[in-house]
Amino acid sequence: MAQTTSDAEQVVRDYTEMWSEKDYSRISRVVSDSFVHRTPGAPDGEVRGRDGLEAFMREIETAFPDFEVSIIDMLATDETVMTENEFTMTHEGEFNGIPPTGREVEFRSMATCRVADGELTELREYLDMQGILERLGAVD
């Protein structure tokens, strides 16, 4: 039997592609006005709203111009999507006060996403920020 992609799954796929393609014009179609992205990599641990997301995406792109994310696995209900993601990037610009190191970084994360009315409303990302900083040479 063929599997169908739910609307919630497609929204999360669109969000992921938006990051890899650095397509800021899609933000208003993919995330809600009240969007919240909670992640250890963001200032104060979260990003709020469309403007906040665009600023965060641009910050990541400046630090890691070749940034790419792909979904490894996904589990979805009507409004909740859980993903396992793989990231690859090279540190070529300042990130969180860390000067560029030229180091390549690969890591995985888990995320819980909430979708309502065809838009992503919340994303909680779980990743090993300490391990990423170690790979960048920023901490021992």
Rounded to whole angstroms, the Cα distance separating 97 from 116 reads: 35
* pLDDT of 4 higher than 70: no
Q: Which of 3-7, 40-44, 95-99, 119-123 has the highest average model confidence (pLDDT)? A: 119-123
pLDDT of residue 2: 44
* pLDDT of 115 higher than 80: yes
pLDDT of residue 38: 97
Rounded to whole angstroms, the Cα distance separating 49 from 62 reads: 20
When pLDDT is cut at 50, 70 and 90, the band that residue 1 belongs to is very low
User: What sign does the dihedral 15-36-55-102 (CA atoms) show?
Assistant: negative
When pLDDT is cut at 50, 70 and 90, the band that residue 100 belongs to is very high
Closest-CA residue to 16 (of 65, 73, 90, 78): 73
Tokens of 60: 């990541």
Tokens of 66: 């070749």
